[in-house]
Structure 1
Amino acid sequence: MKKALFKALVKINNAILPSLYKKDPNRLTTLQKAILGYRYWVLMHALD
């Protein structure tokens, strides 16, 4: 159940949130870093 929820969140994130994979993490704003961290956290929980 928990894993299915995170997989659904990953799909929603891919559709809504901006992709930041080509940007330098040191030059991101605080909001962009928060988005990147959230996307990473959700992805890691979906893969467990």
Structure 2
Amino acid sequence: MKKDVFKILARLNKAVLPSFTKKRLDLAKASKLQMAIFGYKLWVTKNALD
């Protein structure tokens, strides 16, 4: 059940949040908001795959 919630969140993130890899964002120069979004997306993806 928990995994299903994360899979739904991952699909929602893909549709709503920006893709920083497609924009070639340099993480060393990213703002705190961009880093927070990146970390959140990474956390959701990790939990969706487990």
TM over 0.5: yes
Matched, 1:7 2:22: no
Deviation of the 1:23 alpha carbon:
0.8
Question: Following the alignment from structure 1 to structure 2, what is the Cα–Cα distance between the partners of residues 2 and 24?
Answer: 32
Residues matched between the structures, number: 48
TM-score, structure 1 normalization: 0.97
How much is the aligned-residue C-alpha RMSD, in angstroms?
Answer: 0.4
Equivalence map 1:18-37=2 (5 Å) = 18-21=18-21, 22-37=24-39
Structure 2: 5+ residue runs without aligned partners?
Answer: none
TM-score, structure 2 normalization: 0.93
Deviations, residues 23-46 of structure 1 (Å, cap 9, x unaligned): 110011000000000000000000
Deviation of the 1:20 alpha carbon:
0.5
Q: Which runs of 4+ in 1 moved over 2 A?
A: none
